[in-house]
Amino acid sequence: MAPTIAVGDTLPDGTLSYFDENDQKLDVSIHSLAAGKKVVLFGVPGAFTPTCSMKHVPGFIEKAEELKSKGVEEILCISVNDPFVMKAWAKTYPENKHVKFLADGSATYTHALGLELDLTDKGLGVRSRRFALLVDDLKVKVAGVESGGEFNVSSADDILKAL
């Protein structure tokens, strides 16, 4: 297991997938989205799960304009789900204009971050811990990583407080 990403670390590169507005599946490197920019990268244990769907993602959608006004150029949501699930999940937020839903289908990138969460005993396989990173030109400035099923340090408000 990779060491957990922490403040001061350089964000590792990796390839994630998403569907663009023309319904084309694209594979994109994290570095191409984050190099030279201030970005928020937040991870959730699973699409369509209660805390993720009702609290974590809506918070970033609601606070997106405020985050952008403080210099955040990209707001990236990643989950260990396939790109088709992420596309369907994104469509449940018609008001979303700024959050990109990125699929890490095999948890490869989540492993590189050291943020995997083994939920095999719950029938979910390997997932991501809940987290939010504030990254400036690939350097981690804030790392809110949750324990277990908690939601205390990785919200949009937590990132806003740090900006």
Tell me: the pLDDT tens digits for 55-72? 999 999 999 999 999 999
- 1 falls in which pLDDT band (50, 70, 90)? low
Across the range 117-132, mean pLDDT stands at 90
Flag the least confident range among 1-5, 48-52, 158-162: 1-5
Partners of 15 in the β-ladder: 29
| Pair 34, 74: CB distance under 8 Å | yes
DSSP string covering the chain, please? -PPPP-TTPBPPP-EEEEE-TTS-EEEEEHHHHHTTSEEEEEEES-TT-HHIIIIIHHHHHHTHHHHHHTT--EEEEEESS-HHHHHHHHTT-TT-SSEEEEE-TTSHHHHHHT-EEE-GGGT--EEE--EEEEEETTEEEEEEE--TT--SS-SHHHHHHH-
Whether residue 73 is predicted with pLDDT greater than 90 in this model: the reply is: yes
pLDDT for residue 36 is more than 90: yes
β-pairing verdict for 38-44 and 74-79: parallel
% of residues, the chain, pLDDT over 90: 85
Question: What mean pLDDT is reported for the chain?
Answer: 95
Q: Which residue has the higher pLDDT, 142 or 118?
A: 142
CATH class belonging to 15-162? alpha beta
- With vertex at residue 86, the alpha carbon angle to CA 81 and CA 90, rounded to the nearest 5 degrees, is 150
The pLDDT, as a whole number, for residue 64 is 98
- Where in the sequence numbering do the catalytic residues fall? 52
pTM (predicted TM-score): 0.94
What is the Rg, in whole angstroms, of the alpha carbon atoms belonging to the chain?
14
Residue 78: pLDDT above 70? yes
Cα 45 to chain center, whole Å? 10
